[in-house]
Amino acid sequence: MASRRHAARGPSLSELRRRLRAAEDTLHALQDGDVDALVVTRAGDQHVVTLQGTDLPYRVLLEQMYAGAVTLTLDGAIVYCNGRFAELARTPADRIVGKELTNFVAPSGRAALRILLEGARASKTQGELELRGPKGAPVTVAVKFAPLRLAGSEQASGVIGIVTDATEQRRQEEIRTHLIQQVMTAQDQERARIARELHDETGQSLTAVLVGLRAIEQARSVAEAVELAERLREMAAQTLDEVGRLARGLHPRILDHLGLAVAATRLVQEFASQHGIVLDTRIEGLDSQAPWPLLDNTIYRVLQEALTNVAKHARARRISVRLLRTDHNVELQVRDDGVGFDPDVRENGVPTDRVGLGLRGMRERAALLGGTLTIQSSPGQGALITARIPVHRSW
């Protein structure tokens, strides 16, 4: 027994120096954040030790991902997984690291997994698998694998995988397709509205101008011609106003030049004048902050759509508009004293016209900027639309 101990303490000086250099290299790698796990090989087994104390930027990034992420050795052992993968596998992360990925895949998909991992040593691979945890139903997931290479090496040292819930992914695609259809429908409806207004108002006015010009040619006296010319001038001025109104509806240039406060004030004043509705307006705080064109345009469009809904459906005599900006939010409120409606009423599972595409469009505009839109109404009690949008950019 003593001779064995003596033999174990007897490596050569060159061997000791080699071990010292290897230890120094390992320490430097740990300090620089180049390593977050070690694979320790023992007689008959392999154990993965993760370094939980390493503060790696990419670890933070992966933990914030909605998709699952795993780092694997070339033979499929899990070196690291983020929280989302642990949720999909229905297993705590500390019980996942060190295990083979095949342990969390349904038996019917393990052959396909081996093929994907073998291919991922050289290039990217992708497919669908079924994750099975100790509890709950299996989860169908879409997986993408890619080789993980250290700097300066062409050989893969591991595999990185991205795992997403295939059911959720398909649902998101369906929502995206539905939203695209809504946008296209809204665009077609807007084009149809503009075409009607151009034909019914602008087109008829221009036709009347042409008829008037012909009448001037046939005038029997200068006085008669002057009178006709004055009428035509009034008609042309009215037509110009109509074209300007259409142009403002397509793109409110006043937003670019005078800002949201002036644009919103003018919009509600024109609406009240056009529809004979008593107006109560309060706008505060919009001049105290630097403009954000996307936010200003979103608020303007939501206000415009809300007023359009009042004109189409409410039969209101009075509207109240509140537009207030604080350090954190812009809040828009549009209240009317009209006939009201039930926001929860649906026809064949689809919201009625009053709360249909228009309201969905307003909600989508607010949601794109991290905001919310709510509606309160009941039959005979009017309606209140409230939009709140944060003023700080989140991207």
pLDDT at 196: 76
- What does each C-alpha distance from 257 to 227, 291, 336 come to in angstroms? 38, 11, 30
Domain shared by 155 and 266, yes or no: no
315: which residues sit within 8 A by CB, 6+ positions away? 338, 339
Percentage, residues of the chain above pLDDT 70 = 72
Answer whether residue 22 is part of any domain: yes
Domain boundary among 140, 167, 194: 167
- Going by their DSSP bridges, the two strands 318-325 and 329-336 should be labelled as antiparallel
Answer whether residue 241 is part of any domain: no
Average pLDDT for residues 282-299, to the nearest whole number? 79
Answer whether residue 329 is part of any domain: yes
Average pLDDT for residues 25-35, to the nearest whole number? 49
Q: How confident is the model at residue 386 (pLDDT cuts 50, 70, 90)?
A: very high
Domain boundary among 134, 167, 200: 167
Domain boundary among 130, 152, 167: 167
324 and 383 Cβ atoms separated by less than 8 Å: no
Which of 203-207, 270-274, 290-294 is modeled with the greatest confidence?
270-274
Q: Would the pLDDT of 71 be above 50?
A: yes
Which of 27-41, 74-88, 278-292 is modeled with the greatest confidence?
74-88
Looking at the structure of the chain, the number of domains it has is: 2
- CATH of residue 385's domain is 3.30.565.10
pTM for the predicted model, two decimal places: 0.45
Query: Whole-angstrom Cα distance, residue 285 to residue 300?
Result: 15
Q: Which residue has the higher pLDDT, 250 or 46?
A: 250
Q: How confident is the model at residue 111 (pLDDT cuts 50, 70, 90)?
A: very high
Average pLDDT for residues 257-269, to the nearest whole number? 87
pLDDT at 14: 72
Angle, alpha carbons 88-92-96 (nearest 5°): 85
| Strand ranges across the sheet with 278-284 | 278-284, 318-325, 329-336, 383-390, 372-377
What does the mean pLDDT of the chain come to?
77
Which of these, 133, 132, 131, lies nearest to 142 by C-alpha position? 131
Q: Would the pLDDT of 332 be above 90?
A: yes
Q: Which residue has the higher pLDDT, 95 or 13?
A: 95
Residue-range definition of the domain harbouring residue 90: 2-167
Angle, alpha carbons 256-262-264 (nearest 5°): 95
77: which residues sit within 8 A by CB, 6+ positions away? 39, 46, 48, 98, 99, 100, 101
- CATH of residue 71's domain is 3.30.450.20
Answer whether residue 392 is part of any domain: yes
286 and 323 Cβ atoms separated by less than 8 Å: yes
pLDDT at 119: 92
Answer whether residue 174 is part of any domain: no
Average pLDDT for residues 120-144, to the nearest whole number? 85
Six token digits for residue 208:
């009347």
Which of these, 339, 335, 292, lies nearest to 315 by C-alpha position? 339
Domain shared by 160 and 259, yes or no: no
Answer whether residue 240 is part of any domain: no
